[in-house]
A and B are shown apart, each in its own frame.
Chain A
Amino acid sequence: MSLPTDDLVSPFTLEYTYKRSTGPVIGRFLAGLRDGQLLGVRTLTGDVLVPPTEYEPTTGDAVTDEFVEVGPEGTVSTWTWISNPGPKDPVSVPFAWAMVHLDGASTPMLHVVLSPEASLKTGARVRAKFAETRVGHIRDLAGFEVVT
């Protein structure tokens, strides 16, 4: 069977304009970002989860209600370079997705590093850069920049 070549073709966008409830813990984290703060949550075993979750993933225990400010600097534990960003990427120029272990946190967090590829390496020190306009969303944190 051959494919028809003269069929009409049209772009079509399917979009669901969802809003999600954050819950108390993620909500507190996003409020922190809006206020220019990076917050983690303390678990029963004393770890600090960043970004915070309502339950401790290894034990399933509910976390404590103690929020801890972490960063604003941290260490890159692993990263991948995006040389051709797509339309859904957070920035339109080449950047890195990186796991950033913020100072004071027990877990690394996935976010964007906005520095040149040559400055990136595992173990690189980075610093949080906040967006100028902040609304209570993960993108209130514009990304991280390598500290030289």
Chain B
Amino acid sequence: MSAPVTQMKAPTRLEYLVHAGATTTTFLHSILKGQLVGRRCPVCHKVYIPPRGACPTCAVLCTDEVPVSNSGTVTTFSIVRIPFEGQRLTPPYACAHIVLDGADVPLLHIVGGCSVDEVRVGMRVEAVWLEIPQPTLATVTWFKPNGEPDRAVNDRGEVVP
């Protein structure tokens, strides 16, 4: 008998049509205008970005739209060194939690435009936008170092004011 078979390809593929919903639709329209717009909870006053339709802590609707800054602070990060199928970037690259100025929760995105060895907690970064915006958060290619001095980040991942 010829060579044995020990493995077979068995991919699972699910094709969805995703409806963004009212809150995310507003957020993506703001990206088309080159702006990052979050929403504020009327009870705890936290600014969420990406925006949420309701505050998960206070269980009330978030209706106030709040533009946030293009700059923020890295509060935690992970270096991706492992290649996998469907990967958009070439490893190594850094995935990071970035708390934008004016926001209270971190945004998960990429830190680029520098060596992964330079990425650190407290690093100041700013959004790099595509020239032609698309209705997706990927219109921000990544966040690059903006040259400002590092900020302190506490154990809870909050930027110390």
Contacts and interface: CB of A to CB of B under 8 A. Distances in A.
Interface of A: 4, 6-22, 27-28, 30-31, 34-35, 136-138
A21 B13 contact: no
B86 A15 contact: yes
A137 B16 contact: no
A9 B3 CA distance: 48
Nearest to B11: A17
Interface string B1-39: 111111111111111111111101100100000000000
Interface string B126-147: 0000000001000000000000
23 contacts: A7-B20, A8-B19, A8-B25, A8-B28, A9-B18, A9-B20, A11-B17, A11-B18, A13-B13, A13-B14, A15-B13, A16-B11, A17-B9, A18-B9, A18-B11, A19-B7, A20-B10, A21-B7, A22-B5, A22-B8, A30-B5, A35-B1, A137-B8
B85 interface: yes
B104 to A, nearest CB: 25
A15 B10 CA distance: 11
A136 B5 contact: yes
Interface string B53-83: 0000000000000000000000000000000
Instruction: Indicate the member of B6, B7, B13, B28 with the most A CB atoms within 10 Å.
Output: B6
Contacts of A8: 19-20, 24-25, 28, 135
Contact of B19 (A9, A17, A18, A20): A9
A92 to B, nearest CB: 17
Contacts, number: 88
Contacts of A15: 11-14, 86
Contact of B9 (A10, A12, A13, A19): A19
What does DSSP make chain B's interface, helix, strand, loop or mixed? mixed
Contact of A6 (B8, B17, B24, B25): B25
Nearest to A138: B8
A13 B15 CA distance: 5
A7 B27 CA distance: 11
A4 B21 CA distance: 8
A15 B2 CA distance: 32
Nearest to B1: A31
A108 to B, nearest CB: 22
B17 A12 contact: yes
A54 to B, nearest CB: 14
5 A-B pairs closest in CB distance:
A136-B5, A8-B20, A30-B5, A12-B16, A20-B10
A11 B8 contact: no
